[in-house]
Amino acid sequence: MANCLSWSLGITGTVALLLGSIGYFVWPVVLDSQLKKELALTNDSRSFSMWKETPIPMYMDIYMFNWTNPERSLKGLEKPNFVEMGPYSFREHHSKVNLAWNQNDTITFNQIRRWHFAPERSNGSLQDLVTNVNVIAMVSVLISVYPSIPIIFLRYLDSQVTPPFQTVGNMIEKAVPKMLLPFIEPVMEKEESKTYVTKTVQELVFDGYSDNFLNIFQKLKKIIKLKIPFDKFGWFYQRNNSVTYDGTFNMNTGASSLRQLGNILEWNYSKSTHTNYGQCSVVHGSSGELWSSNAASQDHISIFASDICGSLELAYDGTKTVAGLPATVHIGDSLTLDNGQLSESNKCYCPSSGCPPTGARSISQCRFGAPAFISYPHFYKADESYLKKITGMHPKEELHQFNIALHKVTSIPVEVNGRLQINILAKKIDGLRFFNGLPNAYMPMMWFNQRATITPGLAGELKDLTDLAEYVEPSLIILAVIGLVLMASGLFIRFLRKKSASTTPLLSETSAVHDDLS
């Protein structure tokens, strides 16, 4: 009986140990294979249909800054004061079109973004009036601030196509000698153009607005052969439902390795954005919707944003639970928008004309050549000098931090808060009295939060996968340990049996002798 038990325990333990040990090493391969089947972009993969037409509800919340005292601040009597308005919330939907599958495991595509106003989620109407810096007028600041910006708007790299955008500042620089600048002043005064405008939210964001400043160049073009590249200005003018505005992307599909999934390799058929210097101009980072399988475990991750013609580096900031899912959080920290003052590696973000204080990055090339800079909302994490020249800013981490949460197992984004602010550098121009009252300050125009949270349905599917990944590996370890215990138990029983067998004859002989004596 004992012999049978020891053999049963030994065999069962050996099988359990082998299954647990082999399973422990094979399981990651099986999991990776299953993830690749589901996550890699192929014509029939689950992730492809979700990527092509984004199923997760996304919103863009826009907050406008109303300049409350333009007249007094332009006279130098007060600092410019700004009051936040909003949010003006828009439902956002992404579609991928013009898909081309390439032999090197990449896909080339265009992206259409659509926005629909959501009044029930908003605090205000699109007809609300907002006083802002007149961006159309401000672009001429580039004459003195950014004289080295090339005339070709580098969003459009094909030299055979006439670029639809050039900067007004560029046009003046190329076409107007500085000695003629004083003669432009009377034209400005006649057209009654101002350095600030009051427009509706709809005009400032999507519809765009015209300005008498454009009439100046319409009159000058006959003399100095100016070509006017646009008829209106709005931060998202002509962008809603546009196939071409975001540009053309080339992205890794993850077919060979999920560690390359979602990496943007080229933008507008180039590996360079042509907007900065050296490494800062290299196209790199995730598309934002698809991430490499190991992104969640990385100390730093990169996201490429065509909105700013560049990438943002986000730093690991711990873990959290989103919709019942374990996730790692990466945030925009002080280094993300640094331009070399905190880290030497970021110095290539510094314009040739001079660096702004840390916490803001030039996006002039992405915004019609306007002297535009991005920062975090309310200059959160930026140099304190930004707050000294204006009033009305109240930076708070919980409201203004840029953060993204990635699912621990798949690196699928489960929560996103992409918060950025657009600012205009209002600067005087030598030779033009029109700009004399400008405060030499970075003036906040608007900030937005592109946000999304995974739906309960998708969270449930991911939770099943999470539970599987979370429990299988420990279960295999436990199985192997149980196998060892069973094997040890079987050996111990055999040991006891052998010991018992070796002592039994002595007891029998002693008993026999005792019987004889009796």
Q: Look at 20-34, 91-105, 136-150, 317-331 and tell me which has the smallest mean pLDDT.
A: 136-150
> Of 402, 435, 454, which one is at a domain's C-terminal end?
454
Token representation of residue 218: 């319409």
The CB-side HSE value for 441 (13 A sphere, CA atoms) comes to 24
Q: Does a structural domain hold residue 474?
A: no
Q: Are 305 and 311 in contact (CB under 8 A)?
A: yes
Instruction: Report the Cα–Cα distance between both ends of the chain, in Å, rounded.
Output: 35
- Answer yes or no: do 120 and 9 share one domain: no
Maximum mean pLDDT: which of 30-44, 120-134, 454-468: 120-134
Across residues 484-504, what is the average pLDDT?
61
More confident residue, 492 or 389: 389
Quote the CA–CA distance of 96 and 266 in Å, as a whole number.
Answer: 16
Q: Does a structural domain hold residue 45?
A: no
Q: Does a structural domain hold residue 88?
A: yes
pLDDT surpasses 80 at 190:
no
pLDDT surpasses 50 at 146:
no
For residue 18, give its domain range: 2-33+484-517
pLDDT surpasses 80 at 280:
yes
Q: Does a structural domain hold residue 154?
A: yes
Across residues 230-259, what is the average pLDDT?
90
Quote the CA–CA distance of 154 and 166 in Å, as a whole number.
Answer: 9
The torsion angle over the Cα atoms of residues 209, 213, 219 and 223, rounded to 10 degrees, is -120
Instruction: Please report, as a single letter, which amino acid is at residue 123.
Output: N
pTM of the model: 0.81
Confidence of residue 316 (pLDDT cuts 50, 70, 90): very high
pLDDT of residue 174: 44
- Answer yes or no: do 60 and 182 share one domain: yes
> Of 435, 454, 473, which one is at a domain's C-terminal end?
454
pLDDT surpasses 70 at 224:
no
Q: Look at 64-73, 103-112, 154-163 and tell me which has the smallest mean pLDDT.
A: 154-163
Q: Does a structural domain hold residue 38?
A: no
Closest of 1, 123, 27, 8 to residue 471, by C-alpha = 27
β-bridge pairing 413-426 and 403-407: antiparallel
- Answer yes or no: do 211 and 310 share one domain: yes
- Answer yes or no: do 209 and 73 share one domain: yes
pLDDT of residue 44: 86
- Answer yes or no: do 107 and 241 share one domain: yes
pLDDT of residue 178: 56
pLDDT surpasses 90 at 8:
no
Confidence of residue 353 (pLDDT cuts 50, 70, 90): low
pLDDT of residue 489: 65
Q: Does a structural domain hold residue 39?
A: no
More confident residue, 514 or 490: 490
Q: Does a structural domain hold residue 206?
A: yes
- Answer yes or no: do 330 and 428 share one domain: yes
The proportion of the chain whose per-residue pLDDT surpasses 90, expressed as a percent, equals 47
- Answer yes or no: do 425 and 321 share one domain: yes
- Answer yes or no: do 266 and 385 share one domain: yes
pLDDT surpasses 70 at 330:
yes
- Answer yes or no: do 76 and 116 share one domain: yes
- Answer yes or no: do 149 and 283 share one domain: yes
Across residues 225-254, what is the average pLDDT?
84
More confident residue, 331 or 165: 331
Counting the structural domains of the chain, the total is: 2
pLDDT of residue 23: 60
Confidence of residue 218 (pLDDT cuts 50, 70, 90): low
Count other C-beta atoms under 10 Å from residue 427's C-beta: 17
Q: Look at 9-23, 159-173, 311-325, 438-452 and tell me which has the smallest mean pLDDT.
A: 159-173
CB within 8 A of 5, min separation 6: which ones? 490, 493
- Answer yes or no: do 84 and 171 share one domain: yes
Confidence of residue 428 (pLDDT cuts 50, 70, 90): confident
Mean pLDDT for the chain overall: 80
Q: Does a structural domain hold residue 72?
A: yes
- Answer yes or no: do 326 and 230 share one domain: yes
